[in-house]
A and B are shown apart, each in its own frame.
Chain A
Amino acid sequence: DGGITQSPKYLFRKEGQNVTLSCEQNLNHDAMYWYRQDPGQGLRLIYYSQIVNDFQKGDIAEGYSVSREKKESFPLTVTSAQKNPTAFYLCASSIEATSGVTYEQYFGPGTRLTVT
């Protein structure tokens, strides 16, 4: 059963604590992405990775960090430096883009993070 898993589904943390969100895929996709979605807003790209051991900042990377040590895994750490961390976090994966063509991204179920 191929897909993307994210855990946990809901996460509650106190302000000032770092928290790591898990994302695993068994689709054999090279590219993986992290997005953030706020109520009534579109998805905003936090970080992306095209291959293992390489990742790039997206539009809103400040206060976040990632790693890509395995093809299947792309964890996201929300650090205490992120000023407004409460949001719905979505992980996605896709076949790596080639010749200017961007392929479809598939999303995991998401993690809803609440920081108080």
Chain B
Amino acid sequence: QKEVEQNSGPLSVPEGAIASLNCTYSDRGSQSFFWYRQYSGKSPELIMFIYSNGDKEDGRFTAQLNKASQYVSLLIRDSQPSDSATYLCAVNLGDSGAGSYQLTFGKGTKLSVIP
């Protein structure tokens, strides 16, 4: 079963704290990993993508990828109330065939930043 797993939350953090969102995936062959933010009633918005092991930083956001352990995480530093949303992890699961470019989405983690 090809899966992308996320804790549904809600994850509550105080304003200014670091929010840590985690995602595990089932396929060792996965090469592309994405984090999307989705506000209630809106469509997903791309935050970051990462292809290589290690950390990738963009402003207050850091994506961390560990292919050996099959997890990818998103850290949000100095969390703001405007960061309150559902965060979706997306991974390309599958072999190197025709389906390898499809993305499988987790169900998302709901983040609440408390002022």
Contacts and interface: CB of A to CB of B under 8 A. Distances in A.
B98 interface: yes
Interface residues of B, number: 26
B74 interface: no
Nearest to B100: A100
Contacts of A101: 31-32, 51
Interface of B: 4, 8, 31-32, 34, 36, 42-46, 49, 51, 88, 90, 92, 96, 98, 100-103, 105-108
14 contacts: A40-B107, A42-B4, A42-B106, A43-B90, A58-B102, A101-B32, A104-B46, A104-B49, A106-B46, A107-B44, A107-B45, A109-B42, A109-B43, A110-B42
Interface of A: 31, 35, 40-45, 48, 50, 56, 58, 90, 96-97, 100-110
